[in-house]
């Protein structure tokens, strides 16, 4: 008998799929893939928020990587990286392609059904839409610094409803670090 009173995050998806805690997490591989996401983040030209992502298939092979960047062909052509101008056209938000989008596009040709996505930052709502539509079923994140933002709450809601498992990367040894605030 199903116990619907339990939260899907604690009990796994309602369809009976194993939750992250029940899966065997290979810590070495987990570190390898998150480190790949971190290394990709370093390639971002965003002076404030560098984000990296790495998609891994069920055979534990990397099938796509990405970092937040301006659209192809638009890099270094004067699009703004700032975020506090009164005119939204002078802020980065309307232009930048997030790491998750770039990693999914980078995986061109691969079936992403059942893949895992490692990302240095909990996905925003727009990225979560793309993650869900691509068939990715697990998201592992390093930080969730915008946890209280509406976008992140919407993101969490959608990922849960869609049955995408999420878990925070175990970074207790603090081996992986990203400086979000270099300016």
Please give the structure tokens belonging to residue 153. Answer: 């709450």
- Segment contacting Zn ion (CB under 5 A): 2-10, 13-21, 81-89, 95-103? 95-103
Which residue number has the CB closest to Zn ion? 127
Between helices 99-106 and 27-41, what is the axis angle to 10°?
110
Q: Which is nearer to Zn ion, 79 or 124 (CB)?
A: 124
72 Cβ partners below 8 Å, 6+ apart?
A: none
Q: Residues 6 or more apart from 129 whose CB is under 8 A from it?
A: 158
**Residue 127 found at the interface with Zn ion (CB under 5 A):** yes
The distance from CA 28 to its chain's CA centroid, rounded to whole angstroms, is 19
Give yes or no for residue 98 binding Zn ion (CB under 5 A): yes
- Only segment of 29-37, 52-60, 91-99, 130-138 that touches Zn ion (CB under 5 A): 91-99
Closer by beta carbon to Zn ion, 22 or else 75: 75
CB of 129 to Zn ion, least distance (A): 9
CB 53, CB 117: distance < 8 Å: yes
Considering the rule CB under 5 A, would residue 124 count as an interface residue with Zn ion? yes
Residue 158 touches Zn ion, criterion: CB under 5 A: no
Cα distance between residue 56 and residue 71, in whole Å: 23
Q: Report if residue 79 touches Zn ion, rule: CB under 5 A.
A: no
Q: Specify whether 138 is catalytic.
A: no
Q: Which stretch binds Zn ion (CB under 5 A): 8-16, 52-60, 70-78, 121-129?
A: 121-129
Burial level of 123, CB count in 10 A (0-12/13-18/19+)?
A: buried
The residues assigned a catalytic role are 100
């Amino acid at each position: 008998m199903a116990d619907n009173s339990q939260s899907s995050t604690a009990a796994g998806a309602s369809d009976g799929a194993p939750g992250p805690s029940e899966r065997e997490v290979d810590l070495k591989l987990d570190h390898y893939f998150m480190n790949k996401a971190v290394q990709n983040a370093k390639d971002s030209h965003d002076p404030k928020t560098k984000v990296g992502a790495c998609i891994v298939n069920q055979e534990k092979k990397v099938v796509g990587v990405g970092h937040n960047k301006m659209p192809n062909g638009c890099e270094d052509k004067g699009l703004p990286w700032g975020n506090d101008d009164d005119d939204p056209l002078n802020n980065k938000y309307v232009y930048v392609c997030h790491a998750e989008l770039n990693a999914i596009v980078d995986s061109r040709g691969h079936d992403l059904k059942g893949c895992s996505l490692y990302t240095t930052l909990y996905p925003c709502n727009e990225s979560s839409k793309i993650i869900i539509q691509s068939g990715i079923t697990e998201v592992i994140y390093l930080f969730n610094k915008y946890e209280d933002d509406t976008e992140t709450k919407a993101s969490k809601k959608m990922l849960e409803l869609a049955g995408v498992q999420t878990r925070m990367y175990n970074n207790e040894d603090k081996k992986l670090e990203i400086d979000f605030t270099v300016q």
